[in-house]
Chains A and B, each alone.
Chain A
Amino acid sequence: MEITLTAEDIAAGVERLAQAILAKHRGHPIALVGIRSRGDEVAERVLTLLSAEDDWELSFGVLDISLYRDDFEHLRENPLLQESDIGFAVDGAHIILVDDVLFTGRTIRAALDALSDYGRPAKVELAVLIDRGHREMPIQPDFVGITLDTRRLDHVWVSLEGTDGKDQILVIEKPNP
């Protein structure tokens, strides 16, 4: 069985993230940092919504966490790198990490390591478009767009306009072995 989420569902999820961040932090300087790939696009969309507010200092950055992964031994080829772009001072910043899907938490673990090599943020929070559960690390999101009830082996395929050409989320259920 497949579950499909549409462009409208995704837009509503992004809106929910923006509203929650707004409600909690309006007026306080924050930096959104999107995790490549697709987390950067989610972060951009959230930023666009937040930018409608006046007098709010917002920074933006992009993080590639490939070099911080913990599974090199299991890969036939190492993942392709893209440049990170953190154009603001991380020391003392209030950062909201943004990703498309939160699953095991390993990507966020890697992102926290990567971020700490840029400096020492005052605070780091986590915003995800989709929380699909099944954490393998003690990591929880502060802001969630959509909560999906999945099984461990299901595949969650996220497509976003800027990265993949269209907005769509597919959940493909895999039978337990």
Chain B
Amino acid sequence: MARKDLLDIASLTRDEIELLLDQSAPFKELFTRSVKKVPALKGKSVLMLFYEPSTRTHSSFEVAAKRLSADVTNFDVAHSSITKGESIRETVETLQAMRTDYIIVRHGRSGLPGMIARQTKASVINAGDGAHAHPTQALLDAFTIKEKFPDPTGKKVLIIGDILHSRVARSTSTILKKLGVHVAYLGPGSLVPKTGPENIRRFTDYREAMAWSPDVVYLLRVQMERQDVQFFPSLREYHRLYGITDARLEEIRQRGLYLMHPGPVNRGVELCDAVMDYERSLINDQVENGIAVRMAVLYWLKPGAELINLK
């Protein structure tokens, strides 16, 4: 059954997740052709509504939409009437009048994409809302892990960093658990919430976390811009305690672990420079897979479909 919107991972069934991951592979195959574009969404319009800065997610969605032959319009929030006090509701009504087929939203407020979805016939895709969800990031992470582990059941993924502020941690751990992957968090006590999903191990000590024997080490970006309060003493201190230092990279190499990071990397904070040459780093795979997964999502959603996924 096709859906109108993609707002989070939690409301997807395991079958829907498996379908989207399976359907991403044929899109990735297109990237090897001389013409990487297909006419599937010819004549459809995609509107990018980004209230927060983003280079990677924004351009990934834009490339995905263009490779499906959709027309992409950037709703330039910085220069729009929103800065003149126009409400979100008025903006959505404007977009509705433009008869756009897809709206891709990023906003600092949790739940805002869902609110827009309820007010429009267009398919709404959440490209990150507050600390709530980032479903396409979760899908691309799961797809990247499944490329290495076709049956990921029972594999272990250690997520390191600022769990508290991270919609990536939330969405990615949700999808991984739905696929039967074991997830653990590692970070400073102030950044790893004690409440939250059950059966996620929580570590504050790097060595203890490595003794758990993860298959994949997933570094989160330290989000300087999201921290009004200081949660750890200094970046150098953070790198020493939780970053992948040269010595830790050597251990990771010897154990043959995969490394992931949603980007952009703060070099010298989450990762040392040498990680860029690590043969089991999946960071570039994540970027490429992000386009394929987003194409699969755009292709799967049906604008104007009955409003079946309202929560």
Contacts and interface: CB of A to CB of B under 8 A. Distances in A.
Contacts of A113: 39
A72 B25 CA distance: 20
A84 interface: yes
Contacts of A22: none
A29 interface: no
A76 B33 CA distance: 29
Interface string A69-94: 10010001110111111000000000
A117 B35 CA distance: 5
Contacts of A77: 1-2, 302
Which residue, A66, A82, A85, A117, has most C-beta atoms of chain B within 10 A?
A117
Given A77-B2, A77-B302, A118-B34, A84 B29 contact: yes
A27 B143 CA distance: 44
Given A84-B29, A118-B33, A76 B2 contact: yes
Contacts of A116: 35
Interface residues on A, range: 20 to 34
Contact of A72 (B19, B27, B29, B40): B40
A117 B299 CA distance: 19
Contacts of B25: 83
Interface in A117-134: 117-119
A84 B25 CA distance: 10
A80 B31 CA distance: 19
B29 A80 contact: no
B73 to A, nearest CB: 20
Interface in B297-311: 299-300, 302, 305
Contacts of B281: none
A118 B1 contact: no
Nearest to A77: B2
Contacts of B2: 76-78
A98 to B, nearest CB: 20
Contact of A81 (B26, B35, B37, B302): B26
A83 B29 CA distance: 7
A114 to B, nearest CB: 8
A145 B127 CA distance: 51
Contacts of A84: 26, 29
B1 A67 contact: no
Given A76-B302, A84-B26, A117 B38 contact: yes
Contacts of B35: 116-118
A64 interface: yes
A85 B1 CA distance: 28
Contacts of B23: 80-81
B298 to A, nearest CB: 10
B34 A67 contact: no
Interface string B5-40: 000000000000001000101110100011101111
Contacts of A60: none
B39 A68 contact: yes
Nearest to B306: A76
Given A67-B38, A72-B40, A78-B300, A83 B33 contact: no
Contacts of A78: 2, 40, 299-300, 302
Nearest to A76: B2
A64 B19 CA distance: 17
Which residue, A72, A76, A116, A119, has most C-beta atoms of chain B within 10 A?
A72
B40 A67 contact: yes
Task: Identify the 7 closest CB pairs spanning chains A and B, nearest first.
Answer: A117-B35, A67-B38, A81-B26, A67-B40, A77-B2, A83-B26, A83-B29
Interface of B: 1-2, 19, 23, 25-27, 29, 33-35, 37-41, 68, 299-300, 302, 305
Interface of A: 64, 66-69, 72, 76-78, 80-85, 113-114, 116-119
Given A72-B41, A117-B34, 11 more contacts: A64-B26, A69-B40, A76-B305, A77-B1, A77-B302, A78-B2, A78-B302, A80-B19, A117-B35, A117-B37, A118-B34
24 contacts: A64-B26, A67-B38, A67-B40, A67-B299, A68-B40, A72-B41, A76-B2, A78-B40, A78-B299, A78-B302, A80-B19, A80-B23, A81-B23, A81-B26, A81-B27, A83-B26, A84-B26, A84-B29, A117-B37, A117-B38, A118-B33, A118-B34, A118-B35, A119-B34
